[in-house]
Amino acid sequence: MISHDFLEVPGIRYWHLSGEVDLDESIEAFVAVRAAGGLAADMTRPVVFDMRKTDMARFTGEDMRRYSARLKALGFGETGSLAAYVVSNDTNFGMMRMSATYFELSGVRKQENTIVTLDISEAAEWVIARAGIATEHQDAVRRFLLRVPGEESCETT
């Protein structure tokens, strides 16, 4: 399952992935959010992928290479955009680090603009610092990212 929330001010996109995630399903979700328009569709906005409730171990490096090439072909290449991937274990950590390499090679996102972590708090602080979130919005970002997915939903798309 894939769900998307958006914190309008300061413009943080949040994707929650759980259960068995299909790579095609994720692309369809990205396309749907982009097609809906508005600030949430702005792919230059910082994004947090909360992947703690899914297992990436079933995917191969070749799967991720094809996935990144497909993202680029569909116009999701924003090399300057920030992305934080929050995972649940070392296997998923390794898969997402490898994916970050493919994303850079495909022109989707530079590795310097990517963090993979086991800690949602670390992801929140990284996004706040790297995106230059104004002091008055930092607590809202923390609350938004640290909540239980599905609760206290901000603008949901």
Over residues 59-81, the mean pLDDT reads 90
Identity at 4, one-letter amino acid code: H
Percent over 90 (pLDDT), the chain: 76
pLDDT band at residue 41 using 50, 70 and 90 as cut-offs: confident
Predicted pLDDT of residue 156 = 38
Output the CA–CA distances (angstroms, integers) from residue 39 to 7, 8, 84, 152, 155, in the order listed.
10, 7, 19, 19, 11
Q: What does DSSP assign to residue 30?
A: H
Question: Would you say the pTM of this structure is higher than 0.75?
Answer: yes
Predicted pLDDT of residue 155 = 42
Over residues 117-142, the mean pLDDT reads 97
The pair of three-digit structure tokens given for residue 37, joined into one six-digit string: 């328009």
pLDDT band at residue 37 using 50, 70 and 90 as cut-offs: confident
Radius of gyration from C-alpha coordinates of the chain: 14
Q: What are the sequence ranges of the domains in the chain?
A: 2-156
H/E element, 29 = helix 23-36
H/E element, 141 = helix 135-146
